[in-house]
Structure 1
């Protein structure tokens, strides 16, 4: 038996009605959870969020969702999830929505990267239309995410937060680490203009440090130690952006890096 989450919104001719979420006693949530954890067929594997009572958000649950589009931007101890919608205003399909009402692929990837970097899961919603079809704008975003993950997914799936989440000098860089700690992934949200170098302030390099750009057919990139006690400067002068397999949010794979 699985849990079904029912969003607190109804769509009727583009009019939204929001309900007041009842307390856990209304649903007898604790009774259901007692059965779920102790006697259900999935008792050894089930995980439960914090949406089983109005007063419990961000307080009780195997993982927190807190509010829709919750993204603290920092590492927190308890597991959490960012539930966000590609339509910036709605979980449901809106026939009156304009193009600017939808997240761009750059905005979607920023949410994914900053969420994973700080220890969260990303739950991404698209709303089917009245015929049960996924509208083209959502199809495009899903295909773009799929093509990006095909190139850069190793920095997302199975990753863990690194010592640093956001870079110390470049706010457009976020980090994850492979589970075994062998690799650090630096996600560059915005490629800087008119430069041949990418500066990372957080990594502490060694003589065996190697840097690759995922989606690039080239070998390891040249780099040198930045001024100061830590940081590296990556030479990207030979990178041709239009030839890369990834069009947005570029990922540098760093090997033999310490924090």
Structure 2
């Protein structure tokens, strides 16, 4: 919420010395986390502006955090009385506003994040104290909320998180997912991740997330997602960031390319402010990503992992292909001698064609193809990040 100090885990870590000192210096004695909620106003929140930024980034779906581990919901949940954005703070259903604005933009799909457990909910703590042999919390809180957001907002991605070290049987995940895929209003369109209880992550789910910032660097048999942040240290907005805390656009594009080459999707996190704004550095990074994708998007969208992911001879070269006759070789750095060597594509002098994708005007390219061995390419003018199409 409003504190915006260090990271969004403030409440969970409030007894750490740095947190205690910050509170003592800036807030009156006895000021609790719950007292921040009325200060969360979202007075500058404009869902259309958010959607414009997301669309400009080249994204195809978004995942909105509807409730994190502190239990505050961004919709007026019947099961979170006076601890939601309709009763307290903004007095608005922020989830509904985002969903409405998003669906006015046909290229974007709605995903909703929801935390199973809550750090300090007494019902959850009581169940935990009994080794999860009772299930009062999921029965009266978690599951009703999940049914509520699915029926009300009809997401196409349901992103579960926060099992609280409890097994999937405690959360009745199999029962809920059976309803989701067989009876819910999104049964024909929804996909889910793998965080539905301890022991399920990276083993069960429509796609795997495995861990935060997960990037295996090799092809996985199961569909997966790399969920990462622009801020290196936090998922939420922080007032105490330094410029060096943010990933550069080059680093972000490298993560995108490596992820897609290995068969994954990239889910890139930004943390809005308590006023409801996406700060300029986050907006800049997202729009920069979109500009790159406008030029090189055919190597990303509707592409698949190739038989090899990165070149065995030249580091920093990652491959995708379109499942027909086009291979995309994406270069993350430029060789010092100006020559590019591709060892993995097998070429034919009579059939192979090489094209260079770049956003610039004057390019001079000399291409020498050695059958079945290497492709040598020398370019006199270049821009950062390069994509070659090999037919």
**TM-score under structure 2 normalisation?**
0.57
Matched position secondary structure for 1:51: coil
Alignment of 1:206 with 2:321, yes or no, is no
More helix by share: 2
2-structure distance, mates of 1:54, 1:107: 32
Whole-angstrom CA distance in 2 between matches of 1:133 and 1:112: 25
Give, in whole Å, the separation in 1 of the partners of 2:285 and 2:343: 32
CA distance in 2, matches of 1:125, 1:188: 24
- How far residue 37 of structure 1 moved from its aligned partner, in angstroms, is 1.2
What is the CA-CA distance between 1:172 and the residue it aligns to? 0.8
The Cα offsets for residues 25-65 of structure 1, whole Å up to 9 and x where unpaired, read as 33221111010111112222222110111221101011100
Whether 1:236 aligns to 2:344 is no
Partner of 1:168 in structure 2?
312
User: What do residues 169-221 of structure 1 show as CA deviations (whole Å, max 9, x unaligned)?
Assistant: 01110000013x2111111001123x232111111111221111112556894
Contact 2:363–2:379 (CA under 8 A) maintained in structure 1:
no
Structure 2 unaligned blocks of 5 or more = 1-109, 120-161
- Unaligned runs of 5+ residues in structure 1 are 11-17, 242-246
Question: Shift of the alpha carbon at 1:158?
Answer: 0.2
Which of 246, 251, 255 aligns to 2:387? It is 251
- Name 2:240's counterpart in structure 1: 96
- What is the Cα deviation at residue 248 of structure 1? 2.8
| Matched ranges for 1:1-259 at <5 A | 4-6=112-114, 20-179=164-323, 181-193=324-336, 195-207=337-349, 208-215=351-358, 216-217=360-361, 221-226=365-370, 229-237=372-380, 240-241=381-382, 247-255=383-391
Query: How much does 1:9 deviate?
Result: 9.7
Q: Secondary structure at the match of 1:154?
A: helix
TM-score, normalised to structure 1, is 0.84
8 Å Cα contact 1:159/1:177 also seen in 2? yes
**CA contact under 8 A between 2:163 and 2:197: conserved in structure 1?**
no
